[in-house]
Chain A
Amino acid sequence: MRTYLYNGSFESFLTALAMALKDGEDSALAMEGQAREDLFTEFVNAGSDPAAATAMRELFERRGSAESWQHARFAFLSETEDRDAALLAYARLIKEKGAAADNMLADDRVKRVHGLSASVGGEAHMFKGFVRFSELADKTLYAKIEPDHNILPLLTGHFRARLGAFNWIIHDVKRGRAALYFRGRLIFAPLTQQKALEFAGGEAAVQGLWRHFFKTAAIKERTNPELQRRNVPLKYRRHLTEFE
């Protein structure tokens, strides 16, 4: 039994996936440092091979469809324990059945990956609303997020289209990574906050106005905190200006 180890990047993951797929039925995948040692498993470092990753992408896209590839990409961003196993099983099925696999909605292998992909997509959609920028002294817009899944890569296109005229940073403080958009260029980089942020002069006033607006907009006769909690789970409120 072999387990292929990847380094955490998507390219490395696809490389390991390709190797595991070739290997046969009882191979497995794991991220370096997270695999549990046992006597019967042989660990193989998959490295990161662009050609193998591309071939894997083509398997999803051509043998499967654009939809299969999107599910695979999104599911990879989910941070659940069974992600690797779920994607491996899904890849095997795509290899065997092609695009028809995605019609097998009652099959647990398909249902799991579609489900992971939907929760990643759903969280990314929610965060298009939940990201809250503050204006820093140098006019940069800065936002902190702590999503369940690694959705940062799915947010940048959205904010680029809207806030292309500004410099901005979206900081995933849970993962210590940030998307930095400066003068029209986007980069992803590790980021930890060193010192206190210096805000623009009018920032506190605008935040105050927003909190007032938010409070006033609720209709007393219809108060329904449970519904509110279902829509804005408490875990997301920490970085929402209106709940601070």
Chain B
Amino acid sequence: MELQEKLEILAASAKYDASCASSGSSRGGRGTGAAHISGVCHSWTADGRCVSLLKILMTNECVYDCAYCLNRRSNDAPRAILTPDEIAGLTFEFYKRNYIEGLFLSSGIVGSPDRTMELMLTAVRKLRQEYRFNGYVHMKVIPGADQALIDQAGLWADRVSVNIELPTDKSLRLLAPGKTKDTVLVPMNRLAHKIAEHKDERRSIKSSPAYAPAGQSTQLIVGATPETDREIVKLSEALYAKMMLKRVYYSAFVPVTKDSRLPALTEPPLLREHRLYQADWLLRFYGFKADELLDEAHPTLDLAFDPKTVWALNNLDKFPVEVNDADYETILRVPGIGVTSARRIVRARRAGALRLEDLKKLGVVMKRAVYFVTAGGKYEGIRKESGEAIRTKLLEHKPSGNGQLDLFSQADLVRETLPATVTGQL
């Protein structure tokens, strides 16, 4: 089979994996490449997603039969496998032309988990040792592979990940026979420990080898199974706290195979995915707890408003906030104010008291923030205690919907939020 044909098959199967982060890593040394600290997008595909890595499967053959997956054994599709040399060579040729930041290698399971993991490791080892490649490598860890093999992944890759795929054990058992909560969480936990251990070691002995310096991430599919947003957000919160994950990626379920156990969706739940990313963002950068965003009585994220606005509307007693003396964390909770504008406020008020008209210059979206802030005691929102009036006003200012998501606000959210640590389309 021609390399081009293989590439087509194996890139097509890999594309549903959401992660594109290539940030937060740097490898020194001689050779070619450096994983740029802040990550870079090299292009954007026709669906508007960032391309920064050669994201590819080693093979789309698989001994398993997960219902939601294109590579499932029972799916009648052309199969291909790349050799370690082809993977290393292709990555190097692409990297040197600056098409990519590096490699994201995943795979279906060929033969056995061990065999698969061994082949993947060979490819990445070649890339590091023979090509002296220092660029970014993200490696999927194959659930069920031998611990010693899993351990090696972190020695060669900048980032490692085990996909959770589905948010509960029940759903896994239903749709992914061969996977359980344990086959996912055990290696994830193991990697979390290894990463922590090596970090400590490197603190005392500088020369000790780096281990997955860009940390660990995971992905889960949204909308294939009946879990609520609350269950998902709580799960993410736990993964950040207990597994020290760097990122959880959410992927709106795209029905690529037909199966009676799967919901019949006409289109992927993109808006829901978007709201989950916003909620995730609030956990990681805005100091919110999952319980503040969703509770037993309201387990679903509002599709009309972003979760921060919903929280504010439910907590009107905490507003308006005086921008001249509220602390950073409080300002950050105001709708229409993001990380960048909150920082600017805290900085600019050192040079003199801020007036309402200054806020716009600092990047605050006043159409939304106006109901929630005062400056020097001045308030220009609505003097009404009920959230209803504000809610109505806010809806008027929604960017006009043409059926598409309000991706502007998503883009703003990304830009607002620590551009130095995060890149890429969510």
**Alpha-carbon distance A106/B3, docked complex (angstroms):** 56
Interface string of B107-151 (1 = CB under 8 A from A): 000000000000000000000000010010000000000000000
Contact B48 A208 (CB under 8 A): no
How many chain A residues have a CB neighbour from B under 8 Å?
A: 54
Contact B32 A165 (CB under 8 A): yes
Q: Is A10 an interface residue (CB 8 A)?
A: no
Contact A129 B41 (CB under 8 A): yes
Contact B361 A141 (CB under 8 A): no
Contact B4 A231 (CB under 8 A): no
**Alpha-carbon distance A143/B384, docked complex (angstroms):** 60
Contact B44 A225 (CB under 8 A): no
Q: Chain B residues with Cβ under 8 A from A231's Cβ? A: 41, 44, 48, 50, 425
Contact A132 B51 (CB under 8 A): no
Contact A209 B41 (CB under 8 A): no
CB distance from B384 to the nearest CB of A (A): 29
Interface of chain B residues 330 through 383 with chain A (CB within 8 A): 344, 347-348, 350-352, 354, 358, 361-362
Q: Chain B residues with Cβ under 8 A from A230's Cβ? A: 48, 411
Q: Chain B residues with Cβ under 8 A from A158's Cβ? A: 36
Contact A129 B135 (CB under 8 A): no
Contact A206 B97 (CB under 8 A): yes
- Bin chain B's interface residue count: 35 or more
CB distance from B51 to the nearest CB of A (A): 6
CB distance from A34 to the nearest CB of B (A): 29
Q: Is A187 an interface residue (CB 8 A)?
A: no
Q: Chain B residues with Cβ under 8 A from A221's Cβ? A: 254, 267-268
Residues of A in contact with B (beta carbons under 8 Å apart): 100, 103-108, 111, 125, 128-135, 141, 143, 158-159, 161-166, 202, 206, 208-210, 212-214, 216-228, 230-232, 240-242
Closest A-B pairs by Cβ, 8 of them = A227-B48, A106-B358, A218-B45, A222-B47, A103-B351, A231-B44, A218-B46, A105-B348
Inter-chain pairs besides A206-B97, A228-B45, 18 sampled, C-beta below 8 Å: A104-B351, A128-B36, A132-B98, A134-B97, A159-B98, A212-B8, A212-B11, A213-B7, A217-B49, A218-B15, A218-B46, A221-B254, A224-B47, A224-B407, A225-B48, A227-B44, A241-B97, A242-B43
